[in-house]
Structure 1
Amino acid sequence: MITVALYARVSSKSQAQNNTIESQIAELKHRIAADKHELLNEYEFKDDGLSGWSLEREGLDALRDKVGEDQIDKIYIHSPDRLSRKSAHQMILLDEFEKAGVEVIFLNHKTENNPESKLLLGMQGLVAEYECTKIMERSRRGKLHRAKKGCVSVIGIAPFGYNRIKHVDREKTKFEINEEEAKIVKQMFMWVGQERISIREVVRRLRDKSIRTRTGKKVWCPIIIWKLLRNPAYKGQAAFGKLKRVERRERNKQKVSICRTDEDSWIYIPVPKIVDEGLFNKVQKQLDENRKRARIQREGGKKKYLLQGLVVCQNCGYAYSGAQCGVEGKKFSYYRCSSTIRITDGREKCTNKLVRTDMLETAIWEKVKNLLKNPEIIKNEYHRRIAENKNDESSDKKFARRENQIKQGIEKLMEDYYSQENVGDKGYISKEEFKQTMKRMRERLRGIEEEKKKVADQKAIEKGMNLIINSIKSLYSSVKSNLEQLDWQTKRGIIKALVERIQIGYDQVEVAFRIEEPAQDGEIFNLQHCTGRHDNKSIYPLELIKRKFFSTCCII
């Protein structure tokens, strides 16, 4: 039986919403039926609303995976530009399918295995690519021309507070004020412009008033409110050209990104205004002021936190961040779980406790000083762990035993499979089962090899230990004379170099040290020395230090 598949694609979201891809699928199914083939549902591959300029498409990837697994004999596609808009990508895909022995059938192009047919297909791909580029350029220039004429149709989505009234004549498309949404917009502008509140406070008030977003979400995203308050459409001047596409240089990311353009290049289009210009300008000044205040706070204008970025909550996994509580003249600084200040729609928040910054920072700094003064505890900790994990069977014998078991299993599998071929008995194992089982066994063998590589030579580890200890001793000798008077920046650098993380639990604080040195083979030798689980000096039970820690702070 010949296994057939179909692939269909449309580019724009409007095409996806209008379900135009179904017309492609209907034509493809008609052709498959005419060729007297049967199409299974699992071999219908489609990409709805994805550009043909990229190969990163879910449906296309699934199709290529099936081709690579030798599960497909024929692929039906409406036209080459549905496969890809780039001729180079078309050649890559068709060559991949050809090498896998898969026949590709286009409804509007007869493919034959000869140079003339391939040349014609390549030319058709180039023409399609050229046509698409020309369409994009004409569309861009057309939108620019209509925007300069004051036509609002170039703005595809109306901002919150407006309805977009379409018309056959594009120049008659307009924005009308949605009175219900406009009241919410005015309220937000009044809160920020008159009461001078932050965007997070706007989010809280909207949640408390049960005001939902246009899509029905209970909690508004702060960046959405920021964009709304910055949008000049609300003062009667909708802006066109606020965003542009730029190519990315980084690998393993999208090829293009969206960024804002300079306001000088924006084209303004008159629309009905919701707020007056004076209030709009007042809100812009307040947003700038809020931003400056936040930047000053981030840069340490009010308080610097020695352990910032290293403390995490053992309960929920969120980071601990610095905060201040109290009245002017009597303020206390704490580390608190950032999950406790999230704005949620009623979901339960983390209940972990606050920790005084001075107490926690002093305790951690004492542990770091102890490590600097006594680096031998690293070697002691390593030998203790080795002793705990030692058993009667050596690592070499354990790996050899596991390898023999797998190899015997492979031999038995091959014997069953080839016995089936010789005697024609289908009761042994199918071809598909043979492939899958063989693949799993080979993966297990590769896993054992990787484990053996990770088991370092004892001498290399001992040498690495000595390098680590000497490095710490060298660091200690450079700061020994001034250890008790080090400035904040130097302390911060030492802690970041030695501490991996600090976990705050309900009843204890655990410190995990990060020790890294280059090993003999040039790779990074990484030993995480976490004395917090076994050394009482690294575990600070909250019950024992509650009088010191929490006598002047609130436990939530």
Structure 2
Amino acid sequence: MKIAVYVRVSTQRQAQTQTIEQQLDSLRKYHEAQGWSWQKEHIFRDDGYSGAKLRRPGLDRLREQVSRSMFDRVVITAPDRLARNYVHQMLLIEEFEHGGCQVEFVDRPMSHDPHDQLLLQIRGAVSEYERSLIAERMRRGRRQKYLAGGLLPWTHAPYGYRVDPAHPRDPAGVRLEPAEAAVVAELFTIYLQEGRSLKSVTQHLIDLGISSPGGKTRWNQATIRGIFTNPVYTGTVYIGRSRPTEARGRHSALVPIGRGRGGHTQTTQEEWTAVTQVPAIISQEQFDLVQAKLARNQQFARRNNTAYPYLLRALVSCGTCRLGCVGRSSRGGYAYYVCHGKSHGIISRRDEKCPARSIPVEQLDELVWQDVYEMLTHSDTIATALYRAQGGLWLPQELQARRENLRKARVSLEQQMERLTDAYLANVLQLEEYKRRRLELEQRLSVIAEQKRQLEANVGQHDQLAGMVQSIEAFCQRVQQGINEATFEQKRQLIELLIDRVVVTGDEVEIRYVIPTSSKSVTIRFCHLRLDYFNAPMLSNKCQEAFGGRHRGRQTCDSILNLLLHLPQRVDSLSFELEDLRETRPL
């Protein structure tokens, strides 16, 4: 019997105080009492991860291995170590049982008895209530300290200020750093001059050799804008200036998958709440003038210029420097996709410009659209690639034959065990010989049971694959009806839906397709499906390369399809390269 162990603590402080080791000691003693072997490689642990979320590295690895029927039992100290939310507990328990793995809690073993199930529900609800109560009390306690002026809402002091190292959150310890405060005052003054922009102010700091807040020689325009929009330089500290938001898309299509990180949305000034006063660097009037100029300049930014249409807008990347490309049109009527790496160093954040050539818009748009047209009119090729990735098209008679062979093998072993028992009862065999032979037969039976479990799991995956193929073929048939008369806007919508990225490297064009696998994903762009990116489990290098595009070349369906079928939460889109459909096209 293969047994997995899962342990978790919510904070790094708990991890440092050895509370996770206490869980391991309890589980080790439980193993000894049951006569089970303790194997360190079967321990899955999450140090400092909240039980309110399912995305945890240790849990992701456990779920991935359970889906491949690698364990018969998972042992955990208590239900709240598995998840704080009762719905999450039920989801995980059902998922483990579906993979042939039983969940067992040490402090209170659970069965399918209605009383045990009711107790599990009550404990899950209590854990969820306890977590919500603690979080709300902490939030209200912090807010009361903010309003009383006894706590700073800073994790790091803004540029130009210093705090008392012994009491970094105490407002009384805030003081000015003379050199940095002079830089801040100079920035506000320079920006208000006629013709000044964020780019010119950033370049001015770089030319002067002034170090950035992070101690680097290169400044970022976003850093300068953050300084200009921070009202703390007027002498007042506010809370409620922003609220956290979840990320809707990936940071980049050409970088490996990382932990999902959202951003912050700026709130209106009416929602700000003043909490304390600090030494001022600029006047309120100067701050308001800078805000007005920022808003005015933002209206004339290039990203707001929609005079020229680009079919592949925001979908093209440079294979040389791995940066995105933007559309640029000249007065002579020529349009190109230009790599960000060819821009000024302040924008590209690189010392050297990208050597890649600009990409003609008309040629690339036509090439990609023709490729999309061929793909949609040959949907049978997609089905062939999917079936090949899953190991070939299974025939019903082949499946029945494999099931029958496993059944016959199991019946034969059970008959041998019966005859062996009869021989022992008839005093033909000694007890030691009987135990040795019976143990061998039991081991062979467990192997047969494991083979049957894997076969049934593969059958379920094949059924899911067949449903995907039907959905893809239906989608292609619907699109084919009006694809020849599609307008530019309709082509653009189709391109956004079916293409994740177009990577241009020299004379080669690599198109990364995204095929909708259900009716729910027909209207959503792949980069907006957060389950595909942020909630994916910890992937192998092969899967990370296939999703993140770490290298050029062919990406087969195998790693992506296996990822799709083993995701803890089902995704609605499948991204892969179709080897049989096309090769990398020359531009």
Shared fold by TM > 0.5? yes
Matched, 1:349 2:350: no
Q: CA deviation at 1:266?
A: 1.3
Are the counterparts in 1 of residues 153 and 239 from structure 2 also a CA contact under 8 Å?
A: yes
Match of 2:15 among 13, 20, 23: 20
Matches within 5 A, 1:191-210: 191-194=190-193, 197-204=196-203
Residue aligning to 2:225: 226
Residue aligning to 1:293: 300
Matched, 1:282 2:289: yes
Are the counterparts in 2 of residues 237 and 271 from structure 1 also a CA contact under 8 Å?
A: yes
CA deviations 1:185-215 (Å, max 9, x no partner) are: 4454344334753334445555666766555
CA distance in 2, matches of 1:274, 1:80: 53
CA distance in 1, matches of 2:51, 2:147: 31
Question: Which letter does structure 2 place at the counterpart of 1:73?
Answer: R
Structure 1 residues 504 and 215: CA distance shift in structure 2, 3 A: closer
Structure 1 residues 438 and 186: CA distance shift in structure 2, 3 A: farther
3-state secondary structure, aligned to 2:46:
strand
CA distance in 2, matches of 1:503, 1:6: 42
3-state secondary structure, aligned to 2:18:
helix
Structure 1 residues 507 and 84: CA distance shift in structure 2, 3 A: closer
Q: CA deviation at 1:161?
A: 3.5
Are the counterparts in 2 of residues 54 and 84 from structure 1 also a CA contact under 8 Å?
A: yes
3-state secondary structure, aligned to 2:6:
strand
Matched, 1:138 2:143: no
Residue aligning to 1:261: 267
Q: CA deviation at 1:232?
A: 0.6
Question: Which letter does structure 1 place at the counterpart of 2:198?
Answer: I
Q: CA deviation at 1:230?
A: 0.4
Matches within 5 A, 1:14-53: 15-16=11-12, 18=13, 20=15, 23-37=18-32, 39-53=38-52
Q: CA deviation at 1:7?
A: 1.6
**Sequence identity, in percent?**
22
Q: CA deviation at 1:93?
A: 4.1
Structure 1 residues 504 and 172: CA distance shift in structure 2, 3 A: closer
Residue aligning to 1:75: 75
Residue aligning to 2:308: 305
Are the counterparts in 2 of residues 219 and 343 from structure 1 also a CA contact under 8 Å?
A: no
Q: CA deviation at 1:299?
A: 4.3
Are the counterparts in 1 of residues 9 and 20 from structure 2 also a CA contact under 8 Å?
A: no
Residue aligning to 2:277: 270
Matches within 5 A, 1:536-551: none
Structure 1 residues 178 and 406: CA distance shift in structure 2, 3 A: farther
3-state secondary structure, aligned to 1:54:
coil
Are the counterparts in 1 of residues 198 and 224 from structure 2 also a CA contact under 8 Å?
A: yes
3-state secondary structure, aligned to 1:129:
helix
Structure 1 residues 504 and 158: CA distance shift in structure 2, 3 A: closer
Residue aligning to 2:240: 241
Whose relative contact order is higher, 1 or 2, with alpha carbons under 8 Å and at least 6 apart?
2
CA distance in 1, matches of 2:494, 2:97: 55
Q: CA deviation at 1:141?
A: 2.9
CA distance in 2, matches of 1:52, 1:452: 36
Question: Which letter does structure 2 place at the counterpart of 1:3?
Answer: I
Matches within 5 A, 1:64-213: 64-68=63-67, 69=69, 71-77=71-77, 79-93=78-92, 100-106=101-107, 110-111=108-109, 113=111, 119-165=118-164, 174-178=173-177, 181-182=180-181, 185-186=184-185, 188-194=187-193, 197-204=196-203
Structure 1 residues 98 and 492: CA distance shift in structure 2, 3 A: closer
Q: CA deviation at 1:343?
A: 1.4
Question: Which letter does structure 2 place at the counterpart of 1:285?
Answer: A
Matches within 5 A, 1:315-394: 318-323=324-329, 334-339=335-340, 340-341=342-343, 342-346=347-351, 349-353=354-358
3-state secondary structure, aligned to 1:47:
strand
CA distance in 2, matches of 1:494, 1:20: 54
3-state secondary structure, aligned to 2:291:
helix
Are the counterparts in 1 of residues 27 and 106 from structure 2 also a CA contact under 8 Å?
A: no
Are the counterparts in 2 of residues 315 and 352 from structure 1 also a CA contact under 8 Å?
A: no
CA distance in 1, matches of 2:86, 2:154: 32
3-state secondary structure, aligned to 2:102:
coil
Are the counterparts in 2 of residues 80 and 125 from structure 1 also a CA contact under 8 Å?
A: yes
3-state secondary structure, aligned to 1:140:
helix
Larger Rg belongs to: 1
Question: Which letter does structure 2 place at the counterpart of 1:53?
Answer: A
Question: Which letter does structure 2 place at the counterpart of 1:283?
Answer: V
Q: CA deviation at 1:4?
A: 4.2
CA distance in 2, matches of 1:429, 1:95: 23
Matches within 5 A, 1:470-485: 472=485
Matches within 5 A, 1:435-474: 438=455, 472=485
CA deviations 1:290-311 (Å, max 9, x no partner) are: 112227x7245xxx22446459
Are the counterparts in 1 of residues 317 and 502 from structure 2 also a CA contact under 8 Å?
A: yes
Structure 1 residues 449 and 181: CA distance shift in structure 2, 3 A: same
3-state secondary structure, aligned to 1:150:
coil
Structure 1 residues 335 and 504: CA distance shift in structure 2, 3 A: farther
Structure 1 residues 7 and 503: CA distance shift in structure 2, 3 A: closer
CA deviations 1:205-229 (Å, max 9, x no partner) are: 5566676655567765544432332
Are the counterparts in 2 of residues 90 and 125 from structure 1 also a CA contact under 8 Å?
A: yes
Are the counterparts in 1 of residues 15 and 48 from structure 2 also a CA contact under 8 Å?
A: no
CA distance in 1, matches of 2:146, 2:352: 45
Matches within 5 A, 1:497-516: none
Question: Which letter does structure 2 place at the counterpart of 1:293?
Answer: F
Structure 1 residues 22 and 5: CA distance shift in structure 2, 3 A: farther
Structure 1 residues 347 and 447: CA distance shift in structure 2, 3 A: farther
Question: Which letter does structure 2 place at the counterpart of 1:24?
Answer: T
Structure 1 residues 142 and 468: CA distance shift in structure 2, 3 A: closer
3-state secondary structure, aligned to 2:279:
coil
Structure 1 residues 86 and 412: CA distance shift in structure 2, 3 A: closer
CA distance in 2, matches of 1:288, 1:91: 49
CA deviations 1:493-514 (Å, max 9, x no partner) are: 598599999999899899x9xx
CA deviations 1:454-511 (Å, max 9, x no partner) are: 9989xx99x998x659x64xx9xxxxxxxxxxxxxxx96598599999999899899x
Question: Which letter does structure 1 place at the counterpart of 2:43?
Answer: E
